Structure 1
């Protein structure tokens, strides 16, 4: 813990140590687990243990869900305007504690502080956005003719479970939580055991801001021990899950026993399609963050570049110098790229690239495990480009989830479309072209839940995202996200 305090002092940021208690947050208070066991939390940038979290049990889940059900019976009866006021207050709470939450997120996940800060501000924006929608959830009427009135009510589904990933711990949790609360639901959140600190802290801050007890609960621990207990719980009516395809399938099977609805955002191998009329300087600048933001640990990352042969060399000349100028280091040191989240995941990334080297593939830059150049510590991987890959290559077909760009070269729109659609994933895609009608025609044929044109990460909280194929189903963000947490009830009256 001394190293943590030193890091924070050197960076001139708040010391989060007082907020790092090894407990769950249930029913409006910190609660000890029914087990005495804890899980070490490691800062990936320094490989030092910075905190411990409770290793939860099914009994802890039971306490959280029962409390959430009790809170739901009250929360759903608040007027929509009253729920909106709560959500606006929660948004202000996140902003007021932005530095604390950003430091925790940076240390827990390994990402640069600036990226963590953007995540926290994004979470505040999500809360404010859905606060504005909370009192605008309207029903409809069905015309049955004279003598009848038929009303379609939109009602909250009940207790919801949110299983959040380790790459954007707080932002992803709030992405599902905010519309759930706006709809009148309550929530039990199970963050990744790798990155639980910010979500637990957020729940306690919400309580201090006046959110009723039990509306938001956080239980920490391993998925196989408490995740299964949560997704299969008799009182949980909906599960929102972000994570791997294999775990997503398991969650769906678990929820099926209780006939709960499920939203799944799973893996991605998203293509950035560069046509021969694209602005290559713009593409090169955009792709730096499309693939290297959060060290490539992004579900929607532009991990494949599908580029026209005529643009290939110009792109490399513009892109590679930009990649080589990127700096790596601990998240609190102001570098461009932070750490890989865990030693196990770093080994996975390295295995993919080492295999590419053995097969004689063209590694245009990067390709190695490295350390923070100042401290000699941490879990880092160099930003990497692997060139001219065939469609069947594992680097094209499988999600590496790291700072590795797979480049494919094509000679026509038809070939680009076949490459773009030629994986089991369908989460996101981008098209670069000065001919917008042409790009729109291609966008209509790409099998992905979100397609952007001439900017990779576009749309923000307002634009729905979600997958097709093995990337999952259901939509988050935007107005459509409310549908996950509402069900229709028809009431018909004979006059």
Structure 2
């Protein structure tokens, strides 16, 4: 059945395919030790549609110990065999893409076509790191003819992965695939509001040939399941995507066990449009950068920095595109879906209401709303604030919703200064016809990744991560494999 067929059946009858509802530990579906349950919600209707296990420290310990028991076997599996298993996972994910996309859209709220893109990207991640598995090599050291010096890259051991709710499947894939390619075992804790595709992925990886215990999933809340996982003494590395305060707590917990950490945290990313830019292409980029997934993207282009001479012409184009967005349930292939939860929508609304109270009226939008077709769901209007002061919270604070703050620049140097004017440094976008200037700006802007003339350009091959309050470490690309390796050096006298 296609994703659209699943969607049509669900919207008409409420019918769902069989969905996982327990932990996945040591290759088996496992009942939670304390018997707890928690609901997962359809954000487009604002109602629960399924429930899953609510894990505790006991469940986490069972999962970590299963991963620990499987570590030696998987770490010493021939690299080409690990790669072959990941390649089979990519094939299976493409074969089952319709079901994964349907569940991802339903659980997260995002439009179905965006979820389909996420599934394709996840399959590509497993394919990419399948090819990397047998390219992990050591080095030799020139320490004299009477000595042999070499290095052995080894898996770090059990890895913990804390998966966010905005991109559950694709974020899981970009962390799990390099960890598995490097020979590490995995315990994943998906976000409590989006647990399903991570559970489905663990089952798929086992069917692709990964031995029992290599990939384990415990569902539950951050305090009850996430905290015991990142603080477990057998966990040797934590990959975390989420908020700055939670990331700081993760780093502190990992430090107690001297475990390594990759943190991908918040963003308030600038999209710069200079006077010579193609304004139609730039307007398309602006709208995609902030309204994809209803702005719930750490790397969203939530700040538009536009040179003064083209401000009015660009805003006219952006507004026309915003007014053409189709709000609605993600399974109806809308172009502006709901926010993921009622509390999150309330938080976005509070930030917008506070801005209005400060005397900043929105150019468009500004209100919580519902699906115009059903009168239900956790929606928020596509919102734009124009000519926002550089020190206003709309510019400095991450909102994580469909809210764009426009800043006006007087020249490229001013644009770069505005771009660097927050505590975040995740990504940046630049639209200009002057390629030399684009690369000078890319040099001068503090960001982990810079897009030129296409926001969200790149793919799994391009390292991704932030600086300053946006975190540290890099995911994606071959750089990600290094997160999951430790280097052992050997020096031997042979003469």
TM-score normalised by the shorter chain: which range applies?
over 0.9
Q: Are 2:180 and 1:181 equivalent residues in the alignment?
A: yes
Inter-partner Cα distance in structure 2 for 1:10 and 1:249: 40
Match of 2:92 in 1: 93
Residue of structure 2 in register with 1:319 after alignment: 318
User: Residue in 2 aligned with 1:234?
Assistant: 233
Post-superposition Cα deviations, 1:61-83, rounded to whole Å, max 9, x if no partner, equal 11000100111111011111100
Asked whether the equivalents of residues 16 and 104 of structure 1 are also in contact (C-alpha less than 8 Å), the reply is no
Take 1:181 and 1:210, find their aligned partners in 2: how far apart are those partners? 12
Preserved contact between residue 13 and residue 99 of structure 1 (Cα < 8 Å) = no
Q: Does 1:404 pair with 2:412?
A: no
Q: 1:141 & 1:428 partners in 2: Cα distance? A: 36
Report if the CA contact (8 A) 2:37-2:52 is conserved: yes
Q: What's the CA shift string for 1:292-313, capped at 9, x where partnerless?
A: 0000000000000011101100
Give the CA deviation at 1:16.
Answer: 4.1
Q: Tell me if the contact between 1:14 and 1:103 (Cα under 8 Å) persists in the aligned partners.
A: no
1:9 paired with 2:5, answer no
Report deviation, 1:453: 0.8
1:269 correspondence with 2:268: yes
Contact 1:8 1:15 survives alignment (8 Å): no
Contact 1:123–1:171 (8 Å) recurs in 2: yes
Give, in angstroms, the shift of residue 46 of structure 1.
0.6
Q: Take 1:84 and 1:264, find their aligned partners in 2: how far apart are those partners?
A: 26
Unaligned 5+ segments in structure 1 are none
Tell me if structure 1 keeps the 8 A contact 2:451–2:457.
Answer: yes
C-alpha deviation, 1:442, in angstroms? 1.1
State the alpha-carbon separation in 2 of the partners of residues 97 and 266 from structure 1. Answer: 30
* CA distance 1:110–1:94, shift in 2 (3 Å): same
Deviates more, 1:355-364 or 1:293-302: 355-364
1:289 corresponding residue in structure 2 = 288
State how far apart, in whole Å, the 1-side matches of 2:16 and 2:254 are.
Answer: 36
Q: Retained in 1: the 8 A contact 2:240–2:262?
A: yes
Correspondence for 2:201: 202
CA contact (8 A) 1:13 1:103 kept: no
Q: Which residue of 1 aligns with 2:416?
A: 417
Within a 5 Å distance, the mapping from 1:217-366 to structure 2 comes to 217-366=216-365
Distance 1:278 1:309, change over 3 A: same
Task: Give the aligned partner of residue 455 of structure 1.
Answer: 454
> How many angstroms apart in 1 are the aligned matches of 2:249 and 2:156?
22
> TM-score under structure 1 normalisation?
0.97
Post-superposition offset of 1:14: 11
Q: Whole-Å Cα distance in 2 between the matches of residues 12 and 293 of structure 1?
A: 26
CA gap of 1:388–1:460, structure 2 versus 1, over 3 A, is same
The Cα of 1:17 is off from its aligned counterpart by 3.8
Deviation larger for 236-245 or 362-371: 362-371
Q: Distance in 2 between matches of 1:421 and 1:85?
A: 43
Gaps of 5+ in 2: none
1:442 equivalent in alignment to 2:441? yes
Instruction: Judge which range, 203-212 or 328-337, deviates more.
Output: 203-212
Q: How well do the aligned residues superpose, as a CA RMSD in angstroms?
A: 1.5
Matched with 1:391 is 390
Per-residue Cα deviation, 1:213-268 (whole angstroms, up to 9, x for no partner):
01110001011111111111111100000000000000000000000000000000
| CA distance in 2: counterparts of 1:7 and 1:211, whole angstroms | 31
Give the match for residue 103 of structure 1. Answer: 102
Cα 1:371–1:465 change in 2 (3 A) is same
Q: How many residues align?
A: 490
Q: In structure 2, what is the Cα distance between the partners aligned to 1:206 and 1:160?
A: 16
Aligned residue in 2 for 1:155: 154
**Distance in 2 separating the partners of 1:8 and 1:238:** 42
Q: Tell me the residue number matched to 2:189.
A: 190
**In 1: Cα distance, 2:247 partner to 2:420 partner:** 21
Normalization by structure 2: what TM-score?
Answer: 0.97
Aligned equivalents of 1:144, 1:14: Cα separation in 2: 69
Q: Give the 3-state SS of the residue equivalent to 1:19 in structure 2.
A: coil
Note the alpha carbon deviations across 1:332-380, whole angstroms, 9 max, x for none: 1121111100001101111111122222214111111111111111010
Q: Structure 1 residues 93, 304: CA separation in 2 closer, same or farther (over 3 Å shift)?
A: same
In the TM superposition, what whole-angstrom CA distance separates every residue of 1:302-328 from its partner, at most 9, and x where no partner exists? 000011101100101111011000001
Instruction: Note if 1:26 corresponds to 2:12.
Output: no
| Deviations 1:154-210 (CA, angstroms, capped at 9, x unpaired) | 111010000010000111011100000000001000000010011111111222232
Contact 2:101-2:115 at 8 Å conserved across structures: yes
* Counterpart Cα distance in 1 of 2:356 and 2:224: 38
Shifted more, 358-367 versus 303-312: the winner is: 358-367
Once the two structures are superposed, the pairs formed by residues 74-89 of structure 1 within 5 Å of their partners are 74-89=73-88
| Residue 475, structure 1, aligned to residue 474, structure 2 | yes
Cα deviation, residue 37, structure 1: 1.6
Which residue of structure 1 lines up, in the alignment, with residue 377 of structure 2?
378
* Cα separation, 2, equivalents of 1:343 and 1:460: 32
Question: 2 CA distance for matches of 1:16 and 1:229?
Answer: 32
User: Hey, what's the Cα distance between the residues in 1 that align with 2:230 and 2:16?
Assistant: 31
Equivalent residues of 1:162, 1:173 under 8 A apart: yes
